[in-house]
Structure 1
Amino acid sequence: MILRTSRLDLREMTEDDLPALRAILQDAETMTAYEGAFDEEMVQAWLHRMRDRYRDDGFGMWAVVLRESGEMIGQCGPTVQHILDEDVLEVGYLFNRAHWHRGYATEAAAAVRDHVFRALGADRLFAQVRDMNVASMNVAIRLGMTVRGRFVKNYRGVDMPHLAFAIDAPPTGREHGVSAAPPERRRER
């Protein structure tokens, strides 16, 4: 277990997650922003790429499991992506269509956002969203992100316009020599 929210557990994906991963990546409507459903080879490559990221980076898209049922309903996590001409940390989220419109993407992505700032010490977190994907834009906005630029990503032979959403890490108070300890403790010193 990497992260836990009120309804969800996030953990590394395994080979056992392939059926749930196929249900997401091989659904044409879910994969509209990727120019259509993945074939079996692409699903296998996706899982292997995530597992390589766990090993090499210490993170990647994690399985999102609905605690109530134990079902993997999506994936969400940080990855290194090339956005606006630099390599940055990005939060990705992709859920089984049967579980859309229940707040799971926002819940999981908010946990990832907080983890990236707290545990990884990042200064900024991005979300790359295809310019026609309104649902993903809404998740980014709910995370407190704003549009920082536009770029084109070529994927599967198609030029796809994207928006670069981002949020900066909250101030810790240390930037100006102020202690991050609670006010009561600062007065005791």
Structure 2
Amino acid sequence: MNAKTKLVTDRIRLRCMEDRDQANLFGQLFNDPDVMKYYSGLKDKRQTCEWVNWNQRNEKGYGVSLWIAEDKRTGEFLGQCGIVPQQIENQTVMEIGYMFARRHWGNGYAQEAARACLDYGFNERQFGKMAALIDPGNKASIRVAEKIGMHHSKTIRKWNKQIAVYERKSYN
């Protein structure tokens, strides 16, 4: 693995975001109404640049961020998945986030990448608990969280809407 690669699964390489990733993020995720259905709205190119910068700051400050998910064999862009700090009721919780390009939905990539992030967070980073913050209507994301062993713990108000919090405690 090179320095930018964070995790590798059977089919996926997760690597740190770079400025060059803005085109794929914008074109395949942030500008697709189906992908962004459960978020606050589409992102423009400036917001996409800010997103990459935010993830680069998280990587430097916390050693985790949302990472670019690529096909391990071909290098094709699949989406993003990783771990980011979130505030939940005045506590910082490490969240597993995942978002994949629509053409890759239904292939198990989100579950495979999210499970790798969960394992990394618990085994390598020693996080005691991890969460997924999900719009209650996003049944596909809820299924991913449940398949990696997360359980609904509460519903909170965040980002000006109701958000379901799925959590899992460390394996240890």
Q: What is the TM-score of this pair, normalised by structure 2?
A: 0.94
Unaligned runs of 5+ in 1: 172-189
Matched, 1:41 2:42: no
What per-residue deviation string (whole Å, max 9, x for no partner) do you get for residues 139-188 of structure 1? 0000100011110112xxxx2111110011112xxxxxxxxxxxxxxxxx
More displaced stretch, 61-70 vs 108-117? 61-70
1:168 aligns to what? 169
Matched, 1:11 2:18: no
- Runs of 4+ aligned residues of structure 1 deviating over 2 Å after TM superposition are none
Question: Considering only CA atoms, is the larger Rg found in Structure 1 or Structure 2?
Answer: 1
Q: Is the 8 Å Cα contact of residues 20 and 73 (structure 1) preserved in structure 2?
A: no
Question: 1:42 aligns to what SS in structure 2?
Answer: helix
Question: 1:33 aligns to what SS in structure 2?
Answer: coil
Question: 2:125 aligns to what SS in structure 1?
Answer: coil
- Paired letter, 1:146: H
Matched, 1:97 2:102: yes
What per-residue deviation string (whole Å, max 9, x for no partner) do you get for residues 104-133 of structure 1? 000000000000001110111100001111
Structure-2 separation of matches of 1:136 and 1:101: 11
Aligned residues: CA RMSD: 1.0
2:125 aligns to what? 120
Structure-1 separation of matches of 2:10 and 2:20: 24
- Deviation, 1:84, is 3.7
Structure-2 separation of matches of 1:16 and 1:45: 13
- Deviation, 1:35, is 2.8
Q: Is the 8 Å Cα contact of residues 9 and 64 (structure 1) preserved in structure 2?
A: yes
Structure-2 separation of matches of 1:92 and 1:164: 12
Structure-1 separation of matches of 2:136 and 2:22: 29
